[in-house]
């Protein structure tokens, strides 16, 4: 049977992708960011996932503002990096896993979560930057990401957004779905976005390191209680874009009930307008 072995949590700041793509990762400003992922790159190589279930948000790129699914699962065979205004990032195409994705869709929808099925879309920085952080720079033509990826998009851009409670319960349903897939697959679930940031309005530039670090503590130790935090607290304490953090609860909900093993923890300010947070948890 397929099994979820670990979860990874990371911010997705687009300027991180640009720094890598433009060969700036050795500049002092960026070196401090990438230093937090050196362990992670080695860890990812050694943990050898067969599939990454990658929870992220689309930034009005694939879905525009014409239609906005709350939860959308990618069932395609592949996904191209999106053009977000400066041309597509020079990174490899993402290979999908249509069989496992369809199985998860079947199981999770029958478990009462209304997912949108996506058979074709491009993926923006929300998905490609976490892959770049965890894998390092890749040749767009001859390189490849380490394994197939199932994109799972969550609406945190246009209100109303899903609650932390719903995200955590959805993670539980994804866990059950993976466990009932009849193939010996090592699956990782990644939760991305966050941490505190606000990109517009009078509070633009807001960072709340104390709240972020408490979020990391609680995500590890008491995710069920953390899931009760209402969306307004994210916005108040972590800024309007801090709401991206509810996606981390999907990945955490997919983990076993037993306390996880914390393999890595990193927190750094600044990276563009955002506090970068990163965790690797393994199932005990």
Query: x-or-dash pattern for ligand DHB, window 55-74, by CB under 6 A?
Result: ----x---------------
- What are the angstrom distances between the C-alpha of 188 and each of 37, 233, 260, 281? 17, 29, 14, 10
Examine the residue annotation and report whether 268 is marked as an active-site residue of this protein: no
User: How far is 164 from 172, CA to CA, in rounded Å?
Assistant: 13
Query: x-or-dash pattern for ligand DHB, window 15-54, by CB under 6 A?
Result: x---------------------------------------
CB of 230 to ligand DHB, least distance (A): 21
Residues 6+ apart with CB under 8 A from 42: none
Among the listed residues 12, 97, 103, 125, the single catalytic one is 125
Site for ligand DHB in 67-106 (CB under 6 A): none
Q: Is 197 in the site for ligand DHB (CB under 6 A)?
A: yes
Q: Is 13 in the site for ligand DHB (CB under 6 A)?
A: yes
User: How far is 243 from 266, CA to CA, in rounded Å?
Assistant: 19
Q: Is 272 in the site for ligand DHB (CB under 6 A)?
A: yes
Q: Is 122 in the site for ligand DHB (CB under 6 A)?
A: no
Q: How many residues bind ligand DHB (CB under 6 A)?
A: 11
Classified as helix, coil or strand, 3 is strand
SS3 content of the chain, % helix, strand, coil (to 5): 35, 25, 40
- What are the angstrom distances between the C-alpha of 102 and each of 76, 84, 90, 106, 179? 9, 28, 29, 6, 14
Measured from the CB atom, the residue of 2 and 276 that comes closer to ligand DHB is 276
Given its phi and psi angles, is residue 60 left (phi above 0), alpha (psi -120 to 50 degrees) or beta? left
Site for ligand DHB in 230-249 (CB under 6 A): 241
Examine the residue annotation and report whether 12 is marked as an active-site residue of this protein: no
Q: Of 103-111, 141-149, 246-254, 270-278, which part binds ligand DHB (CB under 6 A)?
A: 270-278
User: How far is 115 from 102, CA to CA, in rounded Å?
Assistant: 11
Q: Which one among 10, 155, 208, 273 touches ligand DHB, defined by CB under 6 A?
A: 273
User: How far is 224 from 222, CA to CA, in rounded Å?
Assistant: 6
* Interface with ligand DHB (CB under 6 A): 12-15, 59, 197, 199, 241, 272-274
Q: Which residues are catalytic?
A: 125, 197
């Amino acid at each position: 049977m397929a099994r979820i072995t670990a979860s990874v949590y990371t911010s997705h700041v687009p300027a991180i992708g640009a720094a890598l793509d433009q060969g700036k990762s050795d500049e002092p400003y960026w070196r401090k960011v990438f230093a937090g992922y050196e362990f992670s790159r080695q860890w990812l190589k050694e943990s050898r996932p067969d599939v990454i279930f990658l929870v992220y948000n689309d930034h009005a790129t694939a879905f525009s503002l014409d239609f906005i699914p709350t939860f959308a699962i990618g069932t395609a065979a592949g996904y191209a990096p999106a053009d977000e205004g400066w041309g597509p990032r020079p990174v490899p195409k993402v290979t999908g896993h249509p069989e496992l994705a369809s199985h998860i869709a079947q199981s999770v929808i029958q478990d009462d979560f209304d997912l949108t099925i996506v058979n074709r879309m491009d993926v923006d920085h929300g998905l490609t930057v976490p892959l770049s952080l965890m894998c390092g720079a890749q040749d767009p033509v001859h390189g490849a990401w380490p394994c197939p990826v199932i994109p799972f998009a969550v609406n945190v851009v246009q209100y109303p957004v899903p609650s932390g409670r719903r995200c955590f319960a959805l993670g539980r349903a994804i866990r059950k779905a993976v466990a009932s897939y009849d193939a010996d697959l090592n699956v990782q679930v990644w939760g991305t976005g966050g941490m505190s940031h606000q990109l517009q309005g009078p509070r633009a530039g807001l960072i709340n390191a104390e709240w972020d670090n408490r979020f990391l503590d609680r995500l590890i130790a008491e995710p069920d209680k953390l899931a009760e935090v209402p969306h307004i607290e994210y916005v108040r304490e972590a800024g309007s874009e801090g709401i991206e953090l509810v996606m981390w609860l999907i990945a955490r909900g997919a983990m076993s009930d037993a306390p996880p093993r914390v393999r890595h923890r990193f927190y750094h300010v600044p990276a563009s307008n955002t506090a970068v947070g990163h965790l690797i948890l393994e199932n005990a």
